[in-house]
Structure 1
């Protein structure tokens, strides 16, 4: 089972910052996870919430501000290309979550795919694996339409898990660790369907061991050093 740093080593550093991802490298993460939003001037940045309240204690809305305006408010903001630079250099695979709903609809997927295409040779040379994830069924299908060669992961809500799994074209399925603990048959069903199993967010020793025991392929963790130790990586 592989483990990716959820928003970087975010138990120890501010999420989605260079410090968090460099920390994840030091802690031995096998890959990086991040959330992606686009700014008013269509710069893809690493950010979870629609607003800047949580990370920057500022009410600004990401979609309404340019990248430079956001950087003035929160200098530590990272762009997707900065993450690509780091991942390619250090050979860290990526799980990129596009956030929805957003006022620009599926523009975020178009931009992320364009950036992937620009760096296709570098990515191939580095040998890293990249998947785009979303809770939005429409986003997954948009990606398939633009470039069916890109790996996708359908993230599951409790409310629509069964129907999303049935009708998605994604090669991977992403339930929460709570979902697979509540319904042990879920992991088996996903694996038997031939899809990869991505699980979030897995931090405790017990949950890491459980995920390994049911055949999870990739876990997202805020504590990569802990995951590395529990999973027996040297």
Structure 2
């Protein structure tokens, strides 16, 4: 089971920053997870919420601000280009979540594909583009079917969406997997791999190992490695 750092080693560092991903490397993570949004001038940046209020104290919306305005409000912000270059340099896999719904619609998938194609050495690391949007995953297939995808599921997601998805992986939340461990077997029977988020509790980490999770997404990579007794 591989261990991917959720927004970097975000239990110890500001999420989605270079410091968080450097921390993830130090903690032995096999890969990184990130959230991606588009600025007004179509720069893909690592950011979770639509607004900058919670992290930067700025009420502006990422989609309504230029990259210059966003970086002025939060100098630590990473572009997708910078993130991918760092991952390639450190030989770490990446899970890239596109956020929806957004003002720009499915334009974010187009920009992500453009960024991936432009990243030197990207073929040397594992990549998966993720989304809770079924339509975003299908858009990725049309844009470039060679790029692996992960259909993310929350408690209200319908099973038929996973069953009909073109995604190579399914990503249920740990709460749902804990309540219904048989989900892991059902996903495997679809011929898809299993990426589970966000797993920090020791009992949940052991559950993921038991049911055959492929990628465990955690805020604390070093803790997960310790629980699993990885060297």
- 1:87 match: 87
- 1:38 match: 38
| Deviation, structure 1 residue 123 | 1.4
Distance in 2 between residues matched to 1:161 and 1:92, nearest whole Å:
32
- 2:178 match: 181
Answer yes or no: is the 8 Å Cα contact 1:156–1:164 preserved in 2.
no
**Cα RMSD (Å) of the superposition?**
0.8
| Deviation, structure 1 residue 102 | 0.2
Distance in 2 between residues matched to 1:13 and 1:66, nearest whole Å:
25
Answer yes or no: is the 8 Å Cα contact 2:163–2:190 preserved in 1.
no
Measured against aligned partners, the alpha-carbon deviations of 1:133-191 in whole angstroms (never above 9, x if no partner) come to 00001100000001111100000122123121122110100000110111121111001
Q: What is the DSSP-based 3-state SS (H/G/I as helix, E as strand, rest coil) of the residue aligned with 2:37?
A: strand
| Deviation, structure 1 residue 95 | 0.3
Answer yes or no: is the 8 Å Cα contact 1:4–1:221 preserved in 2.
yes
- 1:217 match: 214
- 1:160 match: 157
Query: Could you state the TM-score of these two structures normalised by the residue count of structure 1?
Result: 0.97
- 1:110 match: 110
Q: What is the DSSP-based 3-state SS (H/G/I as helix, E as strand, rest coil) of the residue aligned with 1:160?
A: coil
Distance in 2 between residues matched to 1:118 and 1:68, nearest whole Å:
22
Answer yes or no: is the 8 Å Cα contact 2:9–2:20 preserved in 1.
yes
Distance in 2 between residues matched to 1:160 and 1:177, nearest whole Å:
14
2:128 to 108, 112, 131: 131
Query: Could you state the TM-score of these two structures normalised by the residue count of structure 2?
Result: 0.98
**2:29 paired with 1:48:** no
Measured against aligned partners, the alpha-carbon deviations of 1:16-63 in whole angstroms (never above 9, x if no partner) come to 011100010111100000000010000000000000011111111000
Q: What is the DSSP-based 3-state SS (H/G/I as helix, E as strand, rest coil) of the residue aligned with 2:100?
A: coil
Structure 1 unaligned blocks of 5 or more: none
Answer yes or no: is the 8 Å Cα contact 1:198–1:218 preserved in 2.
yes
Q: What is the DSSP-based 3-state SS (H/G/I as helix, E as strand, rest coil) of the residue aligned with 2:78?
A: coil
